[in-house]
Amino acid sequence: MNYKIGEVIRNNPILFDTYEMEIAGFTNATQGQFVNISTGDKSMLLRRPISISEVKDESIVIIYKVVGKGTEILASKKPGDVLDVLGPLGNGFPLVKNRKCVLVGGGIGVPPLVETAKKLKENGCEVNVVIGARNKELVILEDKLKEYGKVYVATDDGSYGMKGNVIDCIEQNQIDFDVLYACGPNIMLKFLDKKYYGVKEGYLSFEQRMACGVGICYGCILKPKENREAFLRVCKDGPVFELGVVKYE
C-alpha cells in the first residue's frame, strides 16, 4: 500500500479510554522510543508524546489513553487522516542477548514492552512479563505479550491475577531474571530502582510531561543522583535510564 508518512491506518479503542493507532512510516524506530504528535488543533501548541508499542514493515503502532482534549482529538482521527508526527525520539531500551529478562509494565507503561519483548525473544532471551494494573478492566496487551514470553498479572484490588504490586508479583512467582526492563508510573520505577539497583542490570523508561520533545526546552527534566550532570532530559537523554541514575523526590 502507498501510505503517506503520518497517515492513520487504523485507530480503534481497546478499552473504554484507551486507543490503538497504527501510523504509516517511522519504521526506523527501536523498542522504547516515542513519537511526539501534533493534534492539528491550533489552540493546542504542545504535541502529545506517545510511546511506540510495535514497529512493523511500513508502520508503527501506538497505544494511548484519552486524558484530555488533545488525546480526544487523536481518538477522533480516521484512517486516511495524516498526522504531523515528530520522531522516532528518545534513546529506547538497549537489547541484551541470551539472558533471562523480566519486563515490567504499569498502566499505560505496558505498550512499549511489546516491541521490546519481541526483540528480546529474537535475541534468544527468556522473556517474562509482569503487568501491573489497578483492576481487571485496565489490564491491556496480555494476549499480545504472551506471543513472546510468560505473562504474569498483578492488580491492586486482586480482581485479576494476583493481588499486589509488581514487585510482589516477581517475588511470589519466583521469577528468575538477570535483566530488568520497566515502564510505568514514576512511583513504580522508584520502588523497582530501590529494590534492584546494585543487584541486577536494569533499564527504566520514565513518563514525563514534555513540550519540545527534542531536548531544547528543559521542560521534562528529572534530577540525577549526586555527582552526575545537573539535569536529565527525559525526551533526549531518556526516556530510558539505567537503574541508579535518577534521583527521586
- Contact set with ligand FES (CB under 6 A): 210-213, 215-220, 233, 235-236
The SS3 assignment for 222 reads: strand
Q: Is 39 in contact with 161 (CB distance < 8 Å)?
A: no
For ligand FES, give the closer residue by CB, 187 or 217.
Answer: 217
**Distance of closest approach, residue 221 Cβ to ligand FES, in angstroms:** 7
Pairing of strands 162-163, 150-155: parallel
Q: Is 148 in contact with 110 (CB distance < 8 Å)?
A: no
CA distance 224 to 104: 22
Peptide bond just before 49 cis, omega within 30 deg: no
Closest among 144, 140, 134, 149 to 181, alpha carbons compared:
149
C-alpha cell at 135: 483492576
For ligand FES, give the closer residue by CB, 32 or 132.
Answer: 32
Closest among 163, 27, 53 to 118, alpha carbons compared:
53
For ligand FES, give the closer residue by CB, 85 or 151.
Answer: 85
For ligand FES, give the closer residue by CB, 166 or 220.
Answer: 220
For ligand FES, give the closer residue by CB, 29 or 212.
Answer: 212
C-alpha cell at 69: 482534549
C-alpha cell at 232: 536529565
